[in-house]
Amino acid sequence: MRGISVSAGENTVMFARPELDAILRTYGRLVASGDCKDYAIDGLSDRAVFSIFRRTSEFPLYRIEKTPANAKKQGAWKLLAPGGTILKRGRELEPLLRFFDKKRFQIVG
């Protein structure tokens, strides 16, 4: 696994423990179903990113981003597709993670 990548500094945005727990629960379901096998966590100065990979050597299938500066605008949370297309955005994480429910979610390829 790629593990955790955190830049040194006081101004790094990261996921809170409950947020990371919810994301990892969803990721665990995707691993159990065979849809993905790897992840990466990046803490940047303006956002935190959880990237989901099908294989270690590939580009991320999905990215879950937390951008606190957008909290009052479109919401702090975004779910992005490989090309950067925003699939879903919102003010709360749980509705965003429902995208991965088996009824609606399927990896093609």
- Is-above-0.85 flag for pTM? no
Between CA 45 and CA 69 the distance in angstroms is: 11
Q: pLDDT (tens digit, 9 = 90+) per residue, 27-41?
A: 999 999 888 899 999
- 38, 109 Cβ separation under 8 angstroms: no
Whose CA is closest to 24, among 41, 2, 7, 48? 41
Tokens of 16: 């809170």
Give the pLDDT band (50/70/90) at residue 6: very low
Domain locations along the chain: 3-78+96-100
